[in-house]
Amino acid sequence: MKAFNLSLLSLLVVAMLGFTACGDSDTDSTDEARESLASAPTKDDATKADAKSAAKGIVSPTGPTTAMNFGESSFDFGTIDEGEKVSHVYKFENTGNEPLVISNAKGSCGCTVPKWPKNPIAPGESGEILVTFNSKGKTGKQTKRVTITANTDPAQTFLTITGQVTKIAKDGK
């Protein structure tokens, strides 16, 4: 009943406020590095994250859960010049017994944009999530995280893209 009330509340919030665009708030790369070094999320963390997502209008699909397995959950793009864009495809498989529904994918800031399949992925089938990082205005070590929300347990899965961005001198050298 509590989950139903939370879902209902989330739907009402979405209906009243409408959808909002991903914020462009940048976080300090040092803070993100500390965040990435933290221990892996626990089931309690996922429950808290689900509640926060619901409050923001991001609702996990209800019903049976399934499982997804990524070939890799992190990617290091190496060293690039400030202003370059880097994209990487994260491949996954639905390893559960129910159709996989990804309800949302969100980057840790506006510079990291994921594109994910909107249609259900059948058991045993594969899919891809394209993550693009725009280094404009970024320099130094960068660690960005993408949060995937789906009908899995836990409901959120995390992908990471990292690398080094070199500042370009004003004379272009």
Of 24-38, 57-71, 85-99, 113-127, the one with minimum mean pLDDT is 24-38
147, part of any domain: yes
11, part of any domain: no
The residues facing 169 across adjacent strands are none
86 within 8 A of 133, measured Cβ to Cβ: yes
pTM tops 0.85: no
96, part of any domain: yes
74 within 8 A of 127, measured Cβ to Cβ: no
Q: Count of domains in the chain? A: 1
6, part of any domain: no
Range of 78's domain? Answer: 22-40+60-166
- Predicted confidence at residue 170, as pLDDT, reads 72
**Residue 118: φ, ψ to 5°:** -90, -20
Q: What is the pLDDT of residues 62-113, one digit of tens each?
A: 679 999 999 999 999 999 999 999 999 999 999 999 999 999 999 999 999 9
122, part of any domain: yes
54, part of any domain: no
Give the CATH number for residue 85: 2.60.40.10
